[in-house]
Amino acid sequence: MCEYCGCQDIATIAELTREHDAVVAEISRIRTFVRDGDIGGAAVVARRINGILRPHTLVEERGLFPHLALEFPEHVAALQREHSEIEAVLAEAAAPVPPGPDWPRRLLEAVENLREHILKEQDGLFPAALSILDSSAWTSVEAIRAKVGSEVSSNSTPGVAHRRHGEQIHGVDADLQRTHQT
Ligand SMILES: [Fe+2]
């Protein structure tokens, strides 16, 4: 688990984790807005999540994924596909044409998928990155971060998005984790 493998000691991973934490907090606000029928409020939060994810996804897709894809091509392709699918639903909140009546349901489904996606990255991708990337690779990831910035302050503490120690991991993250440990 990333709390124990040491990946949080890498500044790049700690920053990605802070962004995950911020997104997870926003997801619970979306649930509340949709439950209360406040679709305008949900749209504001969806735009905020997309603002956090824009630089975050660039760091992952241009920085981490190319290194990890050599060893885990299918896992990385699946994570990339999830990025596109989730962001497409979130982006409807900013589209010139208002989202259709089924958008709140699709939004809830997308943010639930996003929460699972974040756990896969925390439990599989980040520990695997720790074992695969060398110092020059980390420098290139940091250069991408320096270019794209972040919507999340570095003062917040990582941890909310982490799965608790002992909880079962499964699917893609379990495969990544197993390979990482061997
Ligand atoms: Fe992520």
Residue 32: give its domain's CATH number: 1.20.120.520
Give me the mean pLDDT over the 6-27 stretch.
Answer: 90
Supply the pLDDT for residue 153.
74
Answer yes or no: are the C-beta atoms of 63 and 132 closer than 8 Å: no
Which domain does 96 fall in, by range?
2-181
Q: How many angstroms is it from 161 CA to the middle of ligand 1?
A: 11
Write out pLDDT tens, residues 92-132: 999 877 788 999 999 999 999 999 999 999 999 999 999 99
How remote is the CA of residue 163 from the centroid of ligand 1, in Å? 14
CA–centroid distance, 60 to ligand 1, in Å, is 7
Per DSSP, helices labelled H in 36-149 are 39-58, 65-69, 73-91, 103-120, 126-132, 135-148
Centre of ligand 1 to C-alpha 56, Å, is 6
Which residue, chain included where needed, has tokens 């392709």? 77
- The alpha carbon of 122 is separated from its chain's Cα centroid by a whole number of angstroms, namely 8
- How far apart CA 51 and CA 36 sit, in angstroms, is 24
Instruction: Quote the number of domains for the chain.
Output: 1
Q: What sign does the CA torsion over 114, 120, 125, 126 have?
A: positive
Torsion angle defined by CA atoms of residues 61, 65, 70 and 73, in that order, rounded to the nearest 10 degrees: -80
- Indicate the pLDDT class of residue 155, thresholds 50, 70 and 90: low
